[in-house]
Structure 1
C-alpha cells in the first residue's frame, strides 16, 4: 500500500513539473519575441481616453469603429473607453480636475495645453518613463514632436499636425465677378466687398470665433505679433501699428456685413460655406472630410491664406497624446504607441488628419489624398502659438477683446492697450 502511494505521489509530482515547465516556456517565448501586447494572465484593464473629436464625425467614427477595436484585438485584456468632449469643455475639465478629481489615463491634448498641464504635474515625462521612447520618437515628424517638449523632457507624443488654408466657393466668387481666390490681403478685402455687393444674403468671409487660432494669422501676415520674441511682454506687439491696422480693417469689413460667423446664432461657417452663405473661410483638412460626408456634391477649392507684408502666415495646429494615468502607465503607453503607428496614422490620414508618422507620410494611401499638397505648402510658413503656460488665459483675453472691438465702436488701440495690461499680468504670474 505504501509503495502504491509513493508511486502515485511521484506521478503527480512529474505532472506538476511538466505543467510548470510548459507555463514557464510559454512566458519565456513571449518575452523573447518582444511581445508586450499580452497583459498578465487573467488581468483585465480598461483605459479611459478623453478626446475632442466631434461626435459622429469621420474622425470619431474611425477612432471608435476601426482603431480602438484593432488595438483591443492586438492587446487582449486591455479595453479602451473613449469619451468625447467639446474642445473647450475638455480643457476646462482637465483644469478643474487637476487638483485631485477624475482624470483619464490618456488624453488628446491641443498642443497649446501641454505647458499648462505639465506645470500642474499632470503629465508623465515619457522619455524618462519608457525605455523605447527614443525609438518611437525617431519615427515622427520633428516639428510636431517639439510641441510636446517642455524644458528638457517630452510630456506627450504628437498625434497629428495641421494648419488652415483658404477655402473659396467658386460659384459665389464668379457670381461676384471674381474668378480666383485672393492671393493678397488687399485682394481679400476687395473680394469680400464684391461678394456683398452681388449677394445680399451672403457674406464674403466666415469666421467661427475670434480667439488666437482665428486672429493670429491676420496679425502675423500683416507683420504684427502678440508677444515679444522672448514671450515676456505683449507691450509693443499686440498694440503695435501693424496689429491695430489689420484689426481695424477686419472690423470695418464686419460692420459692412462682409464678415460673419462668430456670434451666437450665426450660420455655421463650414456648413454655410458649402451651402452658399460664406464665399470664403479658413479651415483645416478636416473640413474636406466633412464636405465629403455631409455635402458630397460640393467641390471644395483651396488656396494659400492671403499674404500680407510678412507673407502668408497661418497658425500651426495639432494635437498631442498625453498620459495622465497613475496606475496604468504601461497599458497607456501601448495605446499611445498604437495611435502614432503607421497603420493608425494612415487610417486617420485618409479622413483629413495630417499624419506625423514618417512612414505614414510616404504611404501610398496618404500620397493619394489630393488636397494635402496645399496644406503642406501652408505648413512651411505656419507658426505655433506662444508656448507659455498662461496661453489659454491669454487666449481668453484675446477673444474677449476682439469681441468688444468688433461688436462696439470702441477705439481699437485703446482696447488693445487694455489687453496688453491683462496679458502682461498673466505672464508675470
Structure 2
C-alpha cells in the first residue's frame, strides 16, 4: 500500500508540474489576467521612445490621456513611454541597433527613416500588416510618403509641421516697424533697425545651426545642399547663392542682430515672449509653450521672408516606426491608435498638426486659428534630402556653420571642405 501511495503521489506531482509548465510564459511577458488577445492571459508591455519635451503639453497629453485610453481599450497591453531629447534619441537608436536594445515603437524624425531602414531595423509595415492600405488611406498623402523607402513603407506619419516667422509686435512697433518683413532684404533692414533702437535686444533668434535652421535661408535664396539626383554637394552647398546668404547672415550675427545659437544665449522661444528677440522662425508647438508659460503674450506670425526663389521653409514631422520583432501586432495597434482621429485631435489641441484626414476636418481642429499660417507655409515647404547619410551630413552642416558664424574664416573655403566631406558620406 505504501508503494502504491508513493507511486500515486508521484504521478499527481508530475501532472501538476506539466500543468504549471503549460501555463508559464515562455517569451518573458507577464502572465497577469486577460491578454491582448482576450484569451491567452499574456500581458505585453510595449516600450515607446519619443522626443516630446518632458512636461510639455504634448508629453502630458501622451502620458496622461492617450496612453491610458489605449490601455483601457486594449486590456493586456501596457505602454512604457520614455522621453529623450531629439539628438539623444537618435544616438540611443543608433546604439540600440548594434546592441539589440531597441524599443517596440519609436517616434522618428522623418529624416531618420532612411537611415534605420538601411540598417534593417524597421519593420516593413505594408508587408507585415494586412490592413496597412486601409489605414494609410485615412492619412495625408505628403506626410505618408516620408515613410516610403523603395517599394515599401517603414513608417506611418504621426504629425507634420513647418515653421513660420514669429514677430513680437511691441518690439517691431517700438523700432518704427508696423509689420513683419516680407522679403530677405526687408528682414536684414529690420533687424539692423531693431538693434539700433534697442542695444540689449536682438532682431532675430536662431537656436541652432543645423539643416533645420539654415536650409530655409539657403533654399529661399536659390541655393541647395545636394544635387537633384542627391549624389553630390559640389556646386550646390558651395554655390554663389549659398555663399551670398551666409555672408549676410554672418554679418548680421557679428553685428549683434542675430543670436541664440551660442552656449549661454537666451533661449529663443522664451526670449521672444519676454522681449529679447524681436523675431524667430518656429513651429506650431510654440503657441502651446506661450499659452502655458506666457499666457499674456500675443504672438504675431507671418510667412518666412521671401528670397529670390520664394519663401521656402523646411518640412518637418515625425513618423512612427516599429522595431519590434516579437510584439508586432501589439505595436501596430498602438501605431494605429496614435494616428486615429481621436488621438490626433487630442494632440492637435496642444500644437501638433494632424495627418489624419478626419482629424483635419474635425471642428475642434478647424477652430485652432493659429494653424492657418502653417498650413499655408506647408505649400512651399521642402523636405530635407531623404538619404540614409543625412544625419551625418547634418553634422557636417552644423560644424561648418558653427565655424562660419563663430570665426572669420573664408565662407567659400569652408563650404568647399564641407561639400567634399558630404560627397564622401554619400559614397558609403
Structure 1 length as normaliser, TM-score? 0.91
Residue number in structure 2 paired with 1:68 = 67
Aligned 8 A contact 1:37 1:74 in 2 = no
The residue aligned with 1:427 is: 426
Distance (whole Å) between structure 1 residues aligned to residue 414 and residue 100 of structure 2? 37
**Kept in 1: contact 2:46–2:79 (CA 8 A):** yes
- C-alpha distance in 2, partners of 1:269/1:234? 31
Partner Cα separation in structure 1 for residue 71 and residue 300 of structure 2: 39
Number of the residue aligned with 2:112: 113
Cα drift, residue 43 of structure 1: 1.2
3-state SS, counterpart of residue 139 of structure 2:
coil
**Secondary structure of the residue that 1:218 maps to in structure 2?**
helix
The aligned counterpart of 2:28 is none
Is 2:227 the partner of 1:225? no
1:266-415 equivalence runs, <5 A: 266-415=265-414
Show the counterpart of 1:17: none
Match of 2:206 in 1: 207
Residue 40 of structure 1, CA deviation: 3.3
Matched length: 394
Q: Distance in 1 between matches of 2:76 and 2:127?
A: 26
Residue aligning to 1:7: none
On the 8 A contact 2:36/2:76 being kept in 1, the answer is: no
For the residues of structure 2 that align with 1:421 and 1:355, how far apart are their CA atoms? 39
- Indicate conservation of the 8 Å contact 2:202/2:258, yes or no: yes
Asked if the contact 2:36–2:77 (Cα under 8 Å) also holds between the matched residues in 1, the reply is no
Which residue of structure 1 aligns with residue 254 of structure 2? 255
8 A contact 1:203–1:260 mirrored in 2: yes
Equivalent position SS for 2:380: coil
Cα offset for 1:175?
0.7
Name the CA distance, whole Å, in 2 between partners of 1:372 and 1:53: 19
CA contact (8 A) 1:166 1:283 kept: yes
Partner residue, 2:40: 41
Q: Are 1:245 and 2:257 counterparts?
A: no
Task: Report SS of the residue matched to 1:166.
Answer: strand
1:102, distance to aligned residue in structure 2 (A): 1.2
How far apart, in 2, do the equivalents of 1:422 and 1:271 lie? 36
* 2:17 aligned partner: none
Q: How far 1:37 moved relative to its partner?
A: 6.2
1:147 partnered with 2:140: no
**How far 1:96 sits from its partner (Å)?**
1.0
Aligned partners of 2:417, 2:238: CA distance in 1, in Å?
Answer: 9
Q: After TM superposition, give the deviation of residue 39 of structure 1 in Å.
A: 4.1
Quick one: distance in 2 between partners of 1:397 and 1:178? 37
Alignment-derived partner of residue 101 in structure 1: 100
Cα-Cα RMSD: 0.9
Contact 2:36 2:44 (C-alpha < 8 Å) held by counterparts:
no
What is the CA deviation profile of residues 82-134 of structure 1, one whole-angstrom value per residue up to 9, with x for unaligned ones?
Answer: 00000000000101111233110000000000000001111000000000000
Deviation at 1:312, TM superposition (A): 0.2
Matched with 1:170 is: 169
> How far apart, in 1, do the equivalents of 2:175 and 2:425 lie?
45
- TM-score computed with the length of structure 2 as normaliser: 0.91
CA shift, 1:270, in A, is 0.2
CA distance in 1, matches of 2:419, 2:155: 31
- Post-superposition shift, 1:42? 1.3
- Cα deviation code 1:163-192 (max 9, x no counterpart): 000000000001111110000000000000
Q: 2:181 matched to 1:187? A: no
SS at match of 1:274: helix
Deviations 1:182-212 (A, max 9, x none): 0000000000001100111100000000000
Give the structure 2 partner of residue 125 of structure 1. Answer: 124
The whole-number CA distance in structure 2 between the counterparts of 1:411 and 1:205 is 24
What CA distance in whole angstroms lies between the structure 2 residues aligned with 1:101 and 1:270?
A: 37
Query: 1 CA distance for matches of 2:131 and 2:190?
Result: 53
Any idea what the Cα deviations from partners look like across 1:262-306, whole Å, max 9, x if unmatched? 011100000000000000000000000000000000001100000
Q: C-alpha deviations, 1:355-396, integer Å up to 9, x for none? A: 000000000000000111100110000000000000000000
Task: Say if 1:286 and 1:353, in contact at 8 Å, map to a contact too.
Answer: yes
Do the aligned partners of 2:36 and 2:43 also contact (CA within 8 Å) in 1?
A: no
